[in-house]
Amino acid sequence: MRSGRLLSIFGLLIVGCSLRIDTAQLENDIKAGIEQQGYRIKLRSVICPSGIDQQTGVVFKCVAELVSDETFDIEVRQLDDSGNLDWTVPSSKVILNVATLETDIQTALAQEVGQRPAIDCGPLYRLNLPGESFECNVVGDPVASGDRIPAAIANVDTEGNLTWQEIRYPMPAANPTRSLESNAAATGASTAPTEATAAASTPATPADSDD
């Protein structure tokens, strides 16, 4: 009974002295990360809630503000109770996270080419600009139905929704002349006309008549 009482008191002491997330450091890290991984993105600030205890699995949101005054959310998850965090920026009307786009393209192409080619759409974060287009590289130029697929084009419609389409190039047709020469070389035959063939194709000269 006494030992249980001591454990209970000790537990209360731990709660009372629990460590908290360093909010200022987190805000600086997120701001630097988005600007480094973003395409022409400049932030005025990132604001995160203060007073959050370090606790595994806790999820909370921070808000980023662009220099244009637009704002978007950042999702933060605590990976453990030692202050290790993971954060991401979901796509919104303000910003695009191309990781989801890369996965969508990869999944669709896997059904066509029988493999999951790597997709590279460039910087992870982009401003959501209606009417803008950008290219995603399909690594390895896979082939489907006789077409080479080196890339995909992503388009942002007037509502800020993201769509994409493949870029296809037909594979070059085989050269029939070269194929004939290759086959002749393999069999030891000659593609040049023989003497008999040449003679047969030459018009005969009329014979002289004694009459």
pLDDT exceeds cutoff 80 at 59? yes
Dihedral (CA of 103, 108, 111, 116) sign: negative
Residue 130 structure tokens: 């209606």
List CB contacts of 128: < 8 A, sequence separation 6 or more.
91, 92, 93, 94, 95, 96, 156, 160
Average pLDDT, the chain: 81
Bridge-based pairing of strands 133-138 and 85-88 is unpaired
Q: Cβ(34)–Cβ(63) under 8 Å?
A: no
DSSP annotation string for 130-196: TT-EEEEEETT--EETTEEEEEEEEEE-TTS-EEEEEEEEEPPPP-HHHHHHHHHHHHT--SSPPHH
pLDDT tens string 35-47: 999 999 999 999 9
Question: What does DSSP assign to residue 5?
Answer: H
Query: What's residue 191's pLDDT?
Result: 45
pLDDT of residue 129: 96
Given pLDDT bands bounded at 50, 70 and 90, which one contains residue 172?
Answer: confident
Contacts by residues 56-59 (CB-CB < 8 Å, ≥ 24 positions apart):
56/80, 56/81
- Say if residues 95 and 75 touch (Cβ distance below 8 Å): no
Q: Identify the band that residue 201 occupies on the pLDDT scale cut at 50, 70 and 90.
A: very low
Is pLDDT above 50 for 87? yes
- Cα 169 to its chain centre, rounded Å, is 20
3-state secondary structure of 15: helix
Nearest CA-CA partner of 87 in 136, 123, 124: 124
Query: Which has the higher per-residue pLDDT, 186 or 157?
Result: 157
Whole-number pLDDT of residue 171: 87
Q: What is the DSSP string of 47-113?
A: E--S--B--TT-EEEEEEEETTS-EEEEEEEE-SSSS-EEEE----SSEEEHHHHHHHHHHHHHHHH
pLDDT digits (tens, 9 = 90+) for 11-30: 333 444 569 999 999 999 99
